[in-house]
Structure formats: C-alpha cells, structure tokens
Amino acid sequence: MKMNLKALSKALGVCALVISASAMADDVTGAGSTAIYPVLSQWANTYKDKTGNSINYQSIGSGGGIKMIKEKTVNFGDSDMPLTPDQLKEANLVQFPVVIIGITPIVNVPGVKPGEMILDGKVLADIYMGKITKWNDKAITALNPKLHLPDLDITVVHRADGSGTTFYFTDYLSKVSQEWKDKVGSNTSVQWPAGMGGKGSEGVASYVAQVKGSIGYDEYAYAMQTHLTWTRMVNSAGKIVSPAPKHFQAASAKTDFAHASDFYTIMTNAPGAESWPLTATTYFLLRTDSAKEDNAKVVKFAKWFLHNGQEQAAKLDYVPLPEATIKLIESYTKTKLGV
C-alpha cells in the first residue's frame, strides 16, 4: 500500500468522522494507538469483506485508548505501552500483543536522504533535551563524517497526545541517558524540554514533512508510507542498523512471552548485533467485566488477523507474531475471558 502524507491524513480524518457518525451501528468499537492504524485499517476492511462484521476504530493515541476502555466506551483499546499486571487487575483489564512495531527517528535536513544519517542514543537524547541545537553540531558530524550537514537550527517534534510511541521512545532515552531518566523520565506523556507537539503519528509526520531542520519519531510504517527520511541508529551492541523488519524481529526474538505475566514486556535497547533499539509491541486491551458476547466479537477478530492478516502486516513493514505466541494468546483469552 502506497499512500502520500496528504492522503493518509485525509483518510485518518475521514475515519474519525465516520466513526462518530456510525459507532452505534458497528459490530465492534475500539480506540487507541495511531501506530497500528495502517495495518489495523487494512485488517478491518478485509475482515468486513470476508465476514460482513464491522470494526470501528478511533486512531486517537494509546493514552486515549487506555482511557476509553477504562471508561467502558469501547469494546477494546489498543496501546503500544503495556500495562503492568497490577494495573490490569486494578482496572479489570486483560491485554495481549497484536504485532511487533518499530519506531524510527525521522528528519527533514536538506540534502539528507533516507538512511544516510546515523544517530545514537546519547545524541538523540541531547537533541530532545535541547542541548544539541544545530545539525552541524560536532556530536552529529562525528557520527556522519561523510555527510555535509548544514548550519541549520534543529526543530524538535514530539507527540502532543498520550502516546505509546512516546512511552517507548522516552523509555529508550531513559536507558541510554541518565540525564534524560533523571530530568524527564518515561511515560505516554512527559514534560518535554524542547520542541513542538503533533497530534498522533500523522501529526508528527506532517510537521516533520513541512518544517525544514526538524526531527521527530514515528512508527516505521508511517515513515515508509509517507516517504519521510528515516535515520539509522547505533544499537546496544555498538552496531549500525537500519529500521527494518528483520531488525525488529531480531530485537523481539529476545522476548519470552511464555514467561511474561499478562504478556508484559518492553523491548527497547534489546541486546544483539542485529537488534533495532526502538522495537516495541502493540497490545489489545479488553475488560474482564464486559459482556462475554462483546469480548467474543473482539477475540474472533483478533484470531482472524493473527492467523490470516500476517501477509498484510508484513507488506506494511510490521513484524507478525510467531505461531507459538499466537497459541499463547488463544489460551490466555480462553482462561481470562472464556472466549
């Protein structure tokens, strides 16, 4: 699927309008992560064609998805940030992984093409701290000796809404920068030291596309579908890697979902020479106290795309879950929800 930024933003806007007008008529309602929207919208369309059942999803950010499932206004939420087992228990929720995603820095620097720039965690943290303010700063040029970087101000772009993508991004920065951990920390929303906020993955992508000298972070599928300039990264093993499914897979391979309570795991800064440092998982959230038939509709959809939506996910640069994890999910929903 190839879609330019204008078309993607328009599609997302139309989606929100359709959702508000027709939510009562649809079979299943959900809300949350914008990172999953490109593949979830494809799954929903195909599922409707195959079964006649509608999936009505609001792409509003992980924070919004968590809020809405807690308030019982949707059948499922989707969050890129996993909730801890204690948080799930307190809110009468369960969660299970849906697909592996990659988050990538995106830049708008004249003369720099996708994949040409290299960043590491320390430099990325210092940029977002507002300590590195020019693209020709010696810390950036040291990583990119072959690039001609301009004497251009850096404009930092971050998420303005509660975001699981932000959680993983700030979790990574907290792992590679003690200063970031002490002064900013990690959450779906933080007090940003610098920059401007965009709403949703599409908002960040839009700002970076428009503002010369900008840097942002976004789900890899958005970067690819909107033809933005992504960077390579130095990973925890000191190796330079590109944001690509094989490197997301390498990072996720270190995760043992079988021994993770309620599938709670965080993959950032994973070990291994091939691992992409900003690898993450997106999760469905359901209520344990919802009507069994409502949860059954959601789980039926999830089982369908976990078994039949793998090819669509891979084409959009997501990493499908392995069969062993899918079996764990099916056992988990049967035990926790009875469906």
Same domain, yes or no, for 138 and 237? yes
Dist. CA 106–CA 124, nearest whole Å: 11
- Amino acid in the structure at residue 303: K
Task: Please tell me whether 104 is known to bind a ligand.
Answer: no
**Residue 191 confidence (pLDDT):** 97
CA 9, 278, 213, 182 dihedral sign is: positive
Same domain, yes or no, for 157 and 72? no
Same domain, yes or no, for 204 and 147? yes
Q: Are strands 155-159 and 214-219 parallel, antiparallel or unpaired?
A: parallel
Which of 252, 270, 292 is the last residue in one of the domains?
A: 252
Same domain, yes or no, for 231 and 124? yes
The tokens for 110 are 């004249």
Q: What separation in angstroms does the CA of 305 have from each of 73, 246, 256, 308? A: 23, 21, 22, 5
Dist. CA 308–CA 312, nearest whole Å: 9
**Residue 12 confidence (pLDDT):** 43
**Domain ranges, residue 153:** 103-252
Q: What separation in angstroms does the CA of 214 have from each of 62, 180, 247, 270, 276? A: 24, 20, 25, 27, 22
**Residue 94 confidence (pLDDT):** 98
Task: Please tell me whether 34 is known to bind a ligand.
Answer: yes
pLDDT digits (tens, 9 = 90+) for 99-144: 999 999 999 999 999 999 999 999 999 999 999 999 999 999 999 9
**What region does 324 belong to: left with phi over 0, alpha with psi -120 to 50, or beta?**
alpha
Residue 234 maps to a domain? yes
CA 26, 32, 34, 37 dihedral sign is: negative
**Residue 130 confidence (pLDDT):** 97
Same domain, yes or no, for 78 and 12? yes
Same domain, yes or no, for 50 and 69? yes
Dist. CA 72–CA 257, nearest whole Å: 27
CA 173, 179, 185, 188 dihedral sign is: negative
Residue 275 maps to a domain? no
**Residue 21 confidence (pLDDT):** 34
Task: Please tell me whether 120 is known to bind a ligand.
Answer: no
Task: Please tell me whether 163 is known to bind a ligand.
Answer: yes
Task: Please tell me whether 33 is known to bind a ligand.
Answer: yes
Domain total for the chain? Answer: 2
Same domain, yes or no, for 148 and 14? no
Residue identified by tokens 């330019």 is 4
Residue 208 maps to a domain? yes
The overall average pLDDT reported for the chain is 91
Task: Please tell me whether 265 is known to bind a ligand.
Answer: no
Residue 145 maps to a domain? yes
Q: What separation in angstroms does the CA of 122 have from each of 131, 147, 161, 326? A: 11, 19, 25, 36
Task: Please tell me whether 133 is known to bind a ligand.
Answer: no
Residue 274 maps to a domain? no
Same domain, yes or no, for 208 and 299? no
- 10-residue averages of pLDDT along the chain (339 residues): 46 40 62 93 96 95 95 97 97 97 97 97 98 98 97 97 93 98 96 94 93 96 88 98 95 90 96 96 97 96 96 91 95 97
Same domain, yes or no, for 108 and 57? no
Same domain, yes or no, for 122 and 186? yes
Which of 252, 268, 293 is the last residue in one of the domains?
A: 252
Which of 205, 237, 252 is the last residue in one of the domains?
A: 252
Residue 191 maps to a domain? yes
Residue identified by tokens 């690898």 is 279
Residue 85 maps to a domain? yes
Residues 186, 171 contacting (CB under 8 angstroms): yes
Same domain, yes or no, for 150 and 244? yes
**Residue 222 confidence (pLDDT):** 82
- 23 burial class (0-12, 13-18, 19+ CB within 10 angstroms)? middle
Task: Please tell me whether 80 is known to bind a ligand.
Answer: yes
- CATH code of the domain in which 328 resides: 3.40.190.10
Residues 104, 278 contacting (CB under 8 angstroms): yes
Residue 196 maps to a domain? yes
Residues 329, 306 contacting (CB under 8 angstroms): yes
Same domain, yes or no, for 120 and 229? yes
